[in-house]
């Protein structure tokens, strides 16, 4: 875990939702508020939004992933003809949120024909997880322990096991596939794919390939050890970056026929190698922008080769359609970037749906045990959902008809929970902003109380 903590900036993902400003009061209403009209305005606005939610939200009966799915039937109309649906979580490692995401994934797969799961983790590890859910080969616990740490829990394992069970007995062209869209621990499979293709397509380039591989191919026992070594121990990274760039250029120029899938796979593998070495070389403040741009490209590459509909499982700062995403935390300061979801919205338009999963209060997993997470601040987007106390969990389409105060709230600047796991003792100092609720999300799935996911 020490290596993963040190590399957290490369693999972290935060929770996210939205801040709103008060709607202007009439003169009569302002006079009635006395000395604090702004506070009264916020109360009136929250009440209007909560009443709108209570009138229009759909009650979800359970967080149990194995329960019947009829309560999720409103998703059919809300998702419509979308080809990619983002499932964004406000915080990794929450049992109830993972259960709700699992149920949503089940609905999209079972009832709407989605056949790819794109995941916020490394592409080379995703190759092994894909093999596991298609064939049963491998150990799901061991695979999850090799992730960034965000997914090493029993509840995520249950979701992958469900995918394996769903695929059992199905024809290959009807199985669900799995793909990682990150690059931050790119390991041996990428190098093997590149090496095999170059040797077959252009044997004369093998000596050049070997010169690049002498610098680039990992020698550590595992991917995290290699990433930690390159990040912390290699002081002069320029030769590695140059070899990674040259390797990609060499593979990209290889002769190929239109539609050559082996060539496309080799180019993609070389791109992951290049992204890995660049990621730990570029200025830290640009790392999130670089990361989300590459993840978006990786997802689009997958979508271009596997034409079925895609579920994108990640943290909200990645799935939200937020070209101006800004994360703040005491540890990392400010990180500004365009989210993966903003690229998907630009490329796919209305065929990308963003679903934000939020919560009101509960506990999260801290380094020495569960940590209390209090309700959100009154100006945060989760607050009016938390006031809808007759729901334990709900599904809300933010495109529903709404009165003027609610429309103003939907168009107001957004603030929400940030990277709380890094500084749980400062639950309000970690937050995310940049955009509006209606821009970020098409739908919200909200849970009132949460608890830590079950460890492996």
Q: What is the DSSP string of 181-247?
A: EE-TT--HHHHHHHHHHHHHH-GGGHHHHHHHHHHHS--SSSHHHHHHHHHHT-S--HHHHHHHHHH
pLDDT band for 39, please (50, 70, 90 cuts): low
Where do the structural domains in the chain lie, given as residue ranges? 40-182+308-450, 184-282
What is the rounded (10 degree) CA torsion for 47, 63, 350, 318?
90
Inter-axis angle of helices 123-135 and 188-201, to 10 degrees? 90
Residue 42 has what pLDDT?
A: 65
Mean pLDDT confidence for 57-82? 98
Q: Is 127 helix (H, G, I), strand (E, B) or coil?
A: helix
Q: Is the pLDDT assigned to residue 159 strictly greater than 50?
A: yes
Q: How far apart are CA 112 and CA 115, in angstroms?
A: 9
Compute the radius of gyration of the chain from its Cα atoms.
23
Beta strands at 352-366 and 84-89: parallel, antiparallel or unpaired = parallel
Percent of the chain at pLDDT > 90 equals 83
Cα(first)–Cα(last) distance of the chain, in Å? 14
For the CA atoms of 85, 419, 139, 185, the dihedral, rounded to the nearest 10 degrees, stands at 90
pLDDT for residue 118 is more than 80: yes
pLDDT value at residue 424: 81
Residue with token string 């109830």:
96
Q: Which residue has better confidence, 153 or 9?
A: 153
DSSP letter for 175, please.
Answer: S
User: In the prediction, which pLDDT does 218 show?
Assistant: 97
Is the pLDDT reported for residue 435 higher than 90?
Answer: yes
Beta bridge partners of 421: none
- Residue 33 confidence (pLDDT) above 90: no
**Residue from 365, 305, 337, 417 nearest 155 by CA:** 365
Which pLDDT score, from 0 to 100, does residue 20 have?
26
pTM of this structure: 0.92
Of 124, 115, 112, the closest CA to residue 163 belongs to 115
CB distance 49 to 410 below 8 Å: no
Residue 324 has pLDDT above 80, yes or no: yes
Mean residue pLDDT of the chain comes to 90
- Name the architecture of domain 184-282: Up-down Bundle (1.20)
In tens, the pLDDT along 352-361 reads: 999 999 999 9
40-182+308-450: which CATH topology? EreA/ChaN-like  fold (3.40.1660)
Contacts 24+ apart (CB under 8 A), 186-189: 186/122, 186/123, 186/124, 186/223, 186/272, 186/273, 186/275, 186/276, 187/122, 187/124, 187/125, 187/218, 187/222, 187/223, 187/226, 188/124, 188/217, 188/218, 189/124, 189/127, 189/128, 189/269
Q: Residue 431: CB partners within 8 Å, gap ≥ 6?
A: 327, 328, 380, 415, 416, 417, 418
Q: Is the pLDDT of residue 274 over 80?
A: yes
Q: pLDDT at residue 1 above 90?
A: no
Long-range contacts of 365-371 (CB under 8 A, 24+ apart): 365/93, 365/421, 365/452, 365/453, 366/421, 366/424, 370/451, 370/452, 371/424, 371/425
Lowest mean pLDDT among 23-32, 57-66, 184-193, 270-279: 23-32
Q: Quick check: 21 pLDDT over 60? A: no
């Amino acid at each position: 875990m020490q290596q993963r903590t040190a590399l957290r900036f490369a693999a972290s993902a935060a929770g996210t939702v939205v801040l709103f400003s008060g709607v202007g009061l009439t003169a009569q209403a302002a006079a009635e508020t006395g000395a604090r009209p702004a506070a009264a305005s916020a109360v009136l606005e929250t009440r209007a939004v909560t009443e709108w939610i209570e009138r229009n939200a759909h009650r979800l009966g359970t967080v149990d992933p194995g329960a019947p799915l009829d309560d999720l039937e409103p998703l059919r109309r809300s998702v419509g003809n979308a080809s990619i649906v983002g499932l964004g979580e406000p915080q990794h490692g929450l049992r109830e949120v993972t259960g709700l995401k699992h149920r949503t994934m089940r609905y999209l797969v079972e009832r709407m024909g989605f056949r790819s799961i794109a995941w916020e983790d490394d592409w080379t590890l995703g190759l092994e997880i894909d093999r596991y859910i298609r064939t049963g080969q491998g150990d799901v616990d061991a695979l999850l322990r090799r992730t960034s740490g965000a997914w090493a829990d029993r509840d995520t394992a249950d979701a992958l096991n469900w995918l394996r069970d769903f695929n059992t007995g199905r024809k290959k062209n009807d199985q669900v596939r799995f793909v990682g869209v990150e690059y931050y621990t790119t390991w041996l499979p990428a190098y093997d794919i590149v090496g095999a293709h170059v040797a077959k397509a252009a044997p004369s380039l093998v000596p050049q390939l070997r010169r690049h591989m002498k610098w680039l191919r990992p020698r550590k026992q595992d991917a995290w050890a290699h990433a930690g070594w390159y990040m912390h121990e290699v002081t002069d990274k320029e030769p590695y970056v140059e070899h990674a760039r040259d390797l990609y250029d060499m593979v990209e120029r290889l002769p190929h026929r239109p539609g050559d899938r082996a060539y496309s796979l080799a180019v993609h593998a070389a791109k992951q190698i290049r992204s890995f070495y660049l990621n730990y070389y570029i200025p830290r403040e640009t790392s999130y922008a670089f990361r989300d741009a590459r993840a978006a490209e990786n997802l689009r590459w997958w979508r271009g080769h596997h034409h079925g509909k895609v579920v994108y499982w990640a943290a909200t700062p990645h799935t939200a359609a937020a070209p101006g995403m800004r994360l703040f935390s005491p540890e990392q300061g400010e990180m500004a970037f365009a989210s993966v979801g903003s690229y998907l919205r630009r490329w796919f338009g209305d065929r990308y749906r963003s679903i934000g999963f939020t919560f009101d209060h509960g506990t999260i997993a801290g380094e020495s045990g569960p940590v209390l997470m209090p309700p959100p601040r009154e100006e945060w987007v989760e607050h009016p959902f938390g006031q809808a106390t007759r729901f334990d969990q709900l599904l809300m389409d933010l495109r529903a008809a709404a009165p003027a105060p609610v429309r103003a709230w939907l168009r107001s600047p957004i603030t929400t929970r940030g990277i709380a796991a890094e500084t749980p003792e400062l639950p309000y100092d970690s937050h995310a902003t940049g955009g509006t609720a209606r821009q970020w999300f098409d739908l919200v799935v909200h849970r009132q109380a949460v608890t830590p996911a079950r460890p492996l």
